[in-house]
Amino acid sequence: MKTVTAGDANRQFSSVLREVAQGESFTVLSRGRPVATIGPARPEDKQRQATRRGLLKRLRKQKPLGARNWTRNELYED
């Protein structure tokens, strides 16, 4: 894993992304402290996909609870 300052990551973002696409990971430092990690996106594994499918299947079978007699505008303060 490489380290890069926030300023350098900003200025060299395209080259950082090219390296990430090739499998490299970066720790981004701000004032000498790690604040973020940039790394390759991980494909979802089969277990995670199966768990998601199971959850969605269960939720589709579940009946809604409570009254839905509110409007969208009531959810937000002006």
What CATH code would you report for 2-38?
Answer: 3.40.1620
Name the pTM for this structure.
0.57
Per the model's pLDDT, the better-predicted residue between 51 and 63 turns out to be 51
Per the model's pLDDT, the better-predicted residue between 65 and 32 turns out to be 32
Tell me how far apart the alpha carbons of residues 76 and 70 are, in angstroms, rounded to a whole number: 11
| β-bridge pairing 33-38 and 26-30 | antiparallel
| β-bridge pairing 2-5 and 26-30 | parallel
Going by pLDDT thresholds of 50, 70 and 90, the confidence category of residue 76 is: confident
pLDDT in tens, 8-36: 999 999 999 999 999 999 999 999 999 99
